[in-house]
Chain A
Amino acid sequence: MLKITNLHVSVAGKQILNGVNLSVNAGEVHAIMGPNGSGKSTLAQVLAGREDYQVTSGAVIFEGRDLLAMPAEERARAGFFLGFQYPVEIPGVNNVYLLKAALNAKRKSAGLPEVDAYEFLSLIKEKMKFMHMSESFLTRGVNEGFSGGEKKRNEVLQMLVLEPKLAILDETDSGLDIDALKIVSEGVNSLRGPQRATILVTHYQRLLDYIAPDQVHVLGGGRILKSGDKSLALELEKRGYDWLVESAVA
């Protein structure tokens, strides 16, 4: 589904990613961990199509297509989804309007007609119920005045409505209370399937108790330092990152 080869990225003239290699197959869940500032969000944003991040070399193939050649909006329509670490507030743009516009953009590119207004509303209401979100969020501006946890739930709500093939959730678990963590995990798990894949960027082993990953990777110094199964996350929980970062430098 996704194949990243030797990806180098610089931001504002500073080299952040130094040769990331990663393959994610349909049906898999991967976790990416790593110290603050190691480039996890940079990787996620580059994959989503941020234009002010410069890819200096490397390639990314998504579903057989050259992802890096596609503009951000086309990546989304092709089934790529980024759950932002810091979802932006957009006062004045209605939350439900955004959802509808996003869904219709995707349907249009798939040659489908626009979603029926009534069907759409009942779909949204069902998903919101699933996410334990009150319907008052429908009429508010995108993320406007949402608490940290509400913003993350809203990201997952969007994901559930858009049903992406590949979702990268950048610290969607940070700032969630225990109940919300469960709800969000259920949301992610509900989308698991043989045709889809998920990449979880997280600092906490706990999320992986709810969403069992197939592989765990550690990002450090702009590349994947180590990959393993779920037990790697447990080891990191005990030992921290120093031993990996040091051995990478050595």
Chain B
Amino acid sequence: MSAVMTPAMRSFESQWQGRRADALSPWRESAMQRFLALGVPTVHDDSWRYTNMRVLQAQSFRDAGANDSALSAPGDASWLTDQGRIPSILIVNGHPRLSAVAAQIDGFEIRSLRELVATEPSRLSRYLEATSDADQRRWELLNTALFADGLHIEIKRPIDTPLCLVHLTGGAGEGNAAYPRVIISAAPGSRATIIEHHLNVGTEATLCNSFTQAELGAGAQLEHYRVFTGHEDATQFDSLDVVQDRDSSCRQFTIALGGSVLRTTLQSRLGEAGAALDSYSLLVGHGERHVDSVVIATHGAPATRSRQTARSVASGSSRTIFNSKVIVSAGASKSDSQQSCRGILLSPTAEIDSRPQLEIHTDEVKCAHGATTGRLDPEMYFYLLSRGLDRDTAQSLLIFAFVADVLTRISLPAARAAIETALIAQLPNAELLRAFR
């Protein structure tokens, strides 16, 4: 069986045909064949029911290449580097420019995937193996087939300095496509903070199909941020897979502030006892943006813990979707999970969908979930009015208070301030909110 050959599919196939063989070709070949057989997901695929690929199917994409960008310093591109104080690596269309600074942070060992493919491919092949749910993970298959370069980051011990990866996608002309791949391996007992900032060069239609895999050894702690600020014609599919060993902990922030169509996936496998995931999602629908976010926590061992907190704010005719799922496998007793998804609609033409789901295959678990979508809390609103605040101020304050559930959890002050600033610009009465801070 093979999928309908739309312009998009044809263009992916021709990118594949233009690839040179490398040591990972067998894995790439099987991923590509599988992708070509399955095709782009459709709304009939359960996990894609809210995101229609019709527009994308009519587009044609080509390899964006490494050198199209006029920007050379990551600090010029990203406002998440605290004006250059946070060491960063610029990744242009998936091709890292390994700067001397970032490569030398004590405790990190950072190498390009291109180099590793050439020198030690055996260290990479296992990351390219098809997973059991590969049929549902088609963009990951395509990334595996087509990534030209990327980063392998080893975290060797506890590191206080955060690292920022600045992903730039785009270039001259329409239809630039990039396939950034990042592999993070945290040694037992290590600790680090990694920020991935996705943004665009130029204003023309682009596709970024990014995939990050993280492995946390026993007791390792990873704080991971992914912040999306693409332009109005940018399509992005981003996946983050986390595999967690005993007593490891992952704090993950997904901040959606840009793009035309943005789909983010987080899958964490809590594979050993004591592993914990805290995921925070801030999904901001603005203009005609479409944000579709999926978080799946799989409790594969006893006494594992997951928390999913999502806050969506949708204005204009935007749409935000948050699908969260907790799977408690057989034998994962004493698992503890909570899902809290809340949304606020700021316009009658905006739409928010939240679907918290639970799949439990064992007894003796503690799982709670809740989802609400609505307008601002009328009790809070009345309280503020009753103190004389005008309606715009009251509304803005409450919106800001609503997203505080995520913002206040950000532990890097500079990142929080920068995210707040970008967020405020997309909320009603931005000037009022600036004064409030």
Contact = CB atoms under 8 A, between A and B. Distances in A.
Interface of A: 48-52, 71-73, 75-77, 82, 84, 87-88, 90-93, 97-98, 101-102, 105-106, 109, 141-142, 158, 162
B387 A158 contact: yes
Given A90-B398, A91-B404, A102 B388 contact: yes
A98 B404 contact: no
Given A91-B401, A92-B405, A141-B401, A72 B386 contact: yes
Q: Main SS of the interface on chain B?
A: helix
B390 interface: yes
Interface string B382-402: 111111111101100110111
Contact of A92 (B379, B382, B400): B400
A88 B385 CA distance: 13
Contact of B385 (A76, A92, A106, A142): A76
A97 B383 contact: no
Contact of B383 (A88, A91, A92): A88
Nearest to A45: B382
Interface residues of B, number: 26
A141 B408 CA distance: 12
Nearest to A94: B436
Contacts of A48: 382, 386
Contacts of A102: 387-389
Given A92-B400, A93-B401, A141-B401, A101 B386 contact: no
A76 B398 contact: no
B413 interface: no
Interface of B: 377-380, 382-391, 393-394, 397-398, 400-405, 408, 436
Given A92-B404, A102-B388, A106-B388, A50 B382 contact: yes
A101 B389 contact: yes
Nearest to A142: B383
Contacts of B390: 73, 105
Nearest to A109: B388
Contacts of B380: 88, 90
Given A73-B391, A93-B401, A158-B387, 5 more contacts: A72-B382, A91-B401, A98-B389, A105-B390, A142-B383
Given A91-B404, A93-B401, A98 B387 contact: yes
Contact of A93 (B382, B386, B391, B398): B398
Contacts of B378: 52
B399 to A, nearest CB: 10
A76 B394 CA distance: 14
A76 B386 contact: yes
A109 B385 CA distance: 14
Given A72-B382, A90-B401, A97 B436 contact: yes
B405 A82 contact: no
B389 A92 contact: no
A148 B397 CA distance: 24
A93 B378 CA distance: 15
A217 to B, nearest CB: 23
B385 A72 contact: yes
B435 to A, nearest CB: 10
